[in-house]
Amino acid sequence: MKITSIETHLVNMGHRNIPYVRIQTDEGIHGIGEAYSCGPDKATVECIRDFEGWLIGHDPRDIEGLWQLMYAGSRFPGGMVLNAAISGIEHALWDIAGKAAGLPVYRLVGGKCRNKIRVYQAPRGNTPEELAENAVALIEKYGYTAIKMGPLPSGWQAMPWNKAMRETERRVEAVREAVGEDIDIGLDPHARLFEVSQAQELCRVVAPYRPFFVEEPLRPENYDAMQKLSQQVDVPLATGEMLYTRHEFRELLARQAVNIIQPDICLMGGLWEMKKIAAMADAHYVSVAPHNPCGPVATAVNVHFAASTHNFLILEYHADDEGARRDIVDEPMKLVDGYLEIPEKPGLGIDLNVEALGAYPFKSWHRGFTFREDGALAYQ
């Protein structure tokens, strides 16, 4: 079997543009994948197109070798765009391998550790009351046993710090009271804090409400700062969505700086690389809760990872029951009472509806800056 072409489709999913990959072979088997929405998404598409020339004529089942060709064969490996392109291509290679073998992908990477995949979704709301109401609505509609919320209030950067913390406590308290004691609540400050003392204070404020984890309480580049924070707080810490390949996770794990890692399967190198990272985490008694904010193909790849990885914890998820998320695939992963079913079809068990992709064309977007009340810059 040989690769004959690689197609790319840049699809607007409402809040982001997602590059999808479709690899064709000379035996009529095709595979699909999803690259991360980096921001400069046309750059990711061009990177995938460039890799097409590297991969045509190769057997798509030689996944380890082709991954090394793309990663180590690049002049300076690493970075968001390159790793997103590699990840999307790698997903499609596994899809082809599974179809060629007549097996679901999870059978090729270890087999089942579980019979269903626990997921969570994030409610929205500017006020504590709106947030709590939306959390309850999500749980009632989809049967989730966990949610994740942003603890910091809107406009917190312009507030006095004590006020921001009081509003943070009001938000978390409102959601905890609304959903009850048995629902797990993850908290995500979105890496907006740069001081260990601020992150420590936030963790102290939310601790009475028993958070499932506090995600990215600091930006991830400074492992020393994260390690210092982990030694000062009594809540589980999580990070990893901005890190690439096993090489960037190695030091984080060696420092025992977090309880949970959150690699993104569309960004950090793909399914096989994520399995390697999960094995490293397992040796450090760390769980894996994949970052998964993008599209339905990413969810499918994550389901195969989760099914075959025993230190998997929970998967971030967006319901694929309406709009572009439903239209662009033939059949999304099936959600039942807060858990995704594991597909038994060969490959990933999902396919792109190519005819529908054109209905959601690329839309340009960018972040801007504004001035806060204290005169400092903040991005919008």
Say if residues 185 and 208 touch (Cβ distance below 8 Å). Answer: no
Which of 256, 254, 261 has its CA nearest to residue 229? 256
Say if residues 206 and 168 touch (Cβ distance below 8 Å). Answer: yes
Q: Per DSSP, which regions of the chain are E strands?
A: 3-12, 17-25, 30-34, 116-120, 146-149, 184-187, 213-215, 237-239, 260-261, 287-288, 315-316, 335-336, 339-341, 369-371, 377-379
Rounded distance between C-alpha atoms, residue 233 and residue 293, angstroms? 27
Report CA-CA distances (Å) from 238 to 230, 262, 263, 302, 338.
10, 7, 10, 18, 22
Q: Has 318 been annotated as catalytic?
A: no
Please identify which of the residues 9, 30, 291, 304 carries the catalytic annotation: 291
Q: Has 304 been annotated as catalytic?
A: no
Report CA-CA distances (Å) from 183 to 176, 195, 207.
8, 30, 15
Could you give the count of Cα atoms lying within 13 Å of 307 in the half-sphere of its Cβ?
Answer: 24
Rounded distance between C-alpha atoms, residue 58 and residue 318, angstroms? 35
Which of 178, 198, 188, 173 has its CA nearest to residue 121? 188
Please identify which of the residues 190, 310, 318, 366 carries the catalytic annotation: 190
* Tokens 């390690």 belong to residue: 227
Which residues are annotated as catalytic?
190, 291
